[in-house]
Amino acid sequence: MALKNAYLIDLMNRVEARNPNDKQFLITVRSVLESIEPVVEKHPEYVKAGVLELFVEQERVIKFRVPWIDDAGNVHVNRGYRVQGNSAIGPYKGGLRLHPSVTEDTVKFLAFEQTLKNSLTGLPIGGGKGGSDFDPKGKSDFEVMRFCQSFMTELYKYIGADVDVPAGDIGVGAREIGYLYGQYKRITGLYEGVLTGKGLSYGGSLVRTQATGYGLCYFTEEMLNAAGKSFKGQTVVVSGAGNVAIYANEKATQLGAKVVAMCDSNGYIYDKNGIDLACVKQIKEVRRGRIKEYIDVHPEAEYHEGCSGIWTIPCDIALPCATQNELSLESCKALVANGCYCVSEGANMPTVIEGIEYLQSKGVLFGPAKAANAGGVATSALEMSQNSERLSWTAEEVDAKLKGIMVNIYHNVESAAKEYGMEGNFEAGANIAGFLKVANAMYAQGVV
C-alpha cells in the first residue's frame, strides 16, 4: 500500500521531518495512516479539526537519567523514558521495557501502537509506553532493585492511578513491578493502583500473568473458527520464551494444539513431541536460565543457535511472541512454503511490513499485534477496576471477561475491515476500529 491522499502525504512528510531519527516510529505511523485513508476521506471534519495533526504528535516525551550502583560499588547511568502518547479516552496506559536496545524511537513506536490497541479493548485507557536501556539479564536482585528504585524516583512525578499507569513488557515482570511499586508508595505515601501486573498480595489481578498469551489464543481461535478451523490438532511454533510466549503455549495446548518450538535471543528448541512447558517454566520463570538448558532435560529435542531458523520449522500456525521485526519477509516465505496458514502476533510489530503484505497476498490469516495481543493491557484495565473498587475478582470472572473482550475485538476488527472495503484485512481493520474511537473522542474534546 502507498499513501494516495494529498493531505496524508503532506502530514507524513511533516512527521518525517519532525522525527528524523525514529525509524520504527515512522514505519508505524505510515502503516497506520495508509490503513485509515478511507476513514479520513469519509470524515473531513477530522482533518478540519486537526485531529490527525494531534494524533501523530505524542502528548509528552519524558527522558531522564537513571543512576545506580552495582554490587561491586561501580556507578552506572542508564537512560529512562516515558512516552505519554494519547489521553483522549483514558489515562495513559502501557508497559515499561528494560532491554539494551531501548531508545526513544522504541518507546515512541510502542506508545503509538498502544493508543490504538487500548482503544480496541473497549476500556477507558489511553496510550503510553516507557522503559530504559538497562539490561536486567545477569544482574542480581539487589542490582535490579536499586535500578528500579532509581527509575521510579524520577518516574513518580509523572504517573498516578488516574494519570498514567505503567505495567510490564520485555524485561519487566513481577519482580520489577514489585520494586517499582514499593518505591512509588514510599515516595508518595499513596497506596493506589499506579502500576498493573502487581503481585496478588498487594493489589494484582488473577490471570494478569497469563492474560497476553491466553488472550492471543482466544483472539486467534475466534479468527480460526470464522474460517472453519481451530487450534485442535494443529502444529504451532511460538517464538520467545518469556511471559507472552509461555502462556500462549499453555492456552494453545489447552485448545488442542501441539507447540513444537520456542526460542530466546540465543537460539531455539525444536521438540517434535510437543514442548514440555513445565520444563520451560522451570528454566525461564524459576531459574532465569537459557532455553538451551531444555535439551539437558530432553536430549531427544534439538537446540539450534540463532533465532530466525525457528520459522523454517513446518507448522500450521505461527505465534511470534518475542520482539519487533523478528519475522522477516524471508521467514514469512519459509512459513508459507511449509504450509503455515495462520500468523497471529503476540509481540508488538514482530512481522516486518513487507512480510505482512506477503502473508496477506498468500491468503494467510493474519492477526495483527494491536488486536491479537490486547489481552494483557485489557486485563491490566480490569486490575485498575478492581483496585478502584477495592475488591478482587475470581480467576473465572477475569478469564471470562478477557475472553469476551478478545472475541469482541476480533468481530470489531473484522467488521471495520469489511465496512471500509478491505474484507479479511484485519491489520487495516484494527487500525481503523482503533482510530475511530480515539478520533471521535479527540474531535469531541477540541484542539487540546
Q: Does 167 bind ligand 2IT (CB under 6 A)?
A: yes
Other Cβ atoms less than 10 A from the Cβ of 295: the count is 15
Would you give the binding string for ligand NDP spanning residues 9-48, x where CB under 6 A is met?
A: ----------------------------------------
Least Å distance, CB 42 to ligand NDP, is: 30
**Of positions 348, 351, 412, 425, contacts ligand NDP by CB under 6 A:** 348
Neighbour-count burial for 365-402, b at 16+ CB within 10 Å, e otherwise: bbbbbbbbbbbbbbbbbbbbebbeeeebbeeeebbebb
Q: Which does 96 bind (CB under 5 to 8 A by kind): ligand 2IT, ligand NDP, none?
A: none
Among the options 108, 129, 401, 403, which is catalytic? 129
* Residues numbered 379-408 forming contacts with ligand 2IT, rule: CB under 6 A: 380
Closest by CA to 21, choosing from 110, 129, 135, 109, is 109
| Element at 212 (helix H, strand E) | helix 208-226
Q: Which does 243 bind (CB under 5 to 8 A by kind): ligand 2IT, ligand NDP, none?
A: ligand NDP
Q: How many residues make contact with ligand 2IT (CB under 6 A)?
A: 11
Q: Does 93 bind ligand 2IT (CB under 6 A)?
A: yes
Q: Does 350 bind ligand 2IT (CB under 6 A)?
A: no
Other Cβ atoms less than 10 A from the Cβ of 48: the count is 9
Helix, strand, coil distribution of the chain in percent, nearest 5: 50, 15, 30
Other Cβ atoms less than 10 A from the Cβ of 214: the count is 25
* CB nearer ligand NDP, residue 43 or residue 97: 97
**Of positions 119, 210, 253, 323, contacts ligand NDP by CB under 6 A:** 323
* CB nearer ligand 2IT, residue 11 or residue 167: 167
Q: Does 236 bind ligand NDP (CB under 6 A)?
A: no
Closest by CA to 277, choosing from 300, 304, 251, is 251
Instruction: Indicate if 42 belongs to the active site.
Output: no
d(CA 239, CA 320): 5
Least Å distance, CB 85 to ligand 2IT, is: 12
* CB nearer ligand NDP, residue 80 or residue 242: 242
Least Å distance, CB 285 to ligand 2IT, is: 17
Least Å distance, CB 170 to ligand NDP, is: 4
At which residue does the C-alpha cell 523478528 appear? 326
Q: Does 376 bind ligand 2IT (CB under 6 A)?
A: yes
Alpha helices in 268-394 (DSSP H): 277-281, 294-297, 329-337, 353-361, 369-372, 375-388
Least Å distance, CB 120 to ligand NDP, is: 12
User: Across the chain, which distance is largest between two alpha carbons, in Å?
Assistant: 64
* CB nearer ligand NDP, residue 12 or residue 111: 111
Q: Does 131 bind ligand NDP (CB under 6 A)?
A: no
What single DSSP character describes residue 160?
A: B
Q: Which does 386 bind (CB under 5 to 8 A by kind): ligand NDP, ligand 2IT, none?
A: none
Q: Does 95 bind ligand 2IT (CB under 6 A)?
A: yes
d(CA 118, CA 304): 37
365-367 and 342-344 beta bridge pairing: parallel
d(CA 95, CA 435): 20
**Of positions 130, 168, 178, 434, contacts ligand NDP by CB under 6 A:** 168
**Of positions 62, 207, 307, 364, contacts ligand NDP by CB under 6 A:** 307
Q: Does 280 bind ligand NDP (CB under 6 A)?
A: no
Provide the Cα torsion 63, 28, 86, 37; round to 10°. Answer: 150
Q: Does 51 bind ligand NDP (CB under 6 A)?
A: no
Give Cα separations from 173 to 98, 103, 115, 178 (angstroms): 10, 20, 22, 9
Q: How many residues make contact with ligand NDP (CB under 6 A)?
A: 23
Q: Which does 94 bind (CB under 5 to 8 A by kind): ligand 2IT, ligand NDP, none?
A: ligand 2IT
**Of positions 91, 128, 346, 429, contacts ligand NDP by CB under 6 A:** 346
Q: Does 321 bind ligand NDP (CB under 6 A)?
A: yes
Pair 87, 108: CB distance under 8 Å: no
Beta bridge partners of 318: 237, 343
| Element at 119 (helix H, strand E) | helix 104-120
Assigned C-alpha cell, 217:
489464543
At which residue does the C-alpha cell 498468500 appear? 362
Least Å distance, CB 416 to ligand 2IT, is: 20
Residues that bind ligand 2IT (CB under 6 A): 93-95, 117, 167, 169, 196, 348, 376-377, 380
Q: Which residues are catalytic?
A: 129
Residues that bind ligand NDP (CB under 6 A): 168-171, 212, 240-245, 264-266, 307, 321-323, 346-348, 373, 376
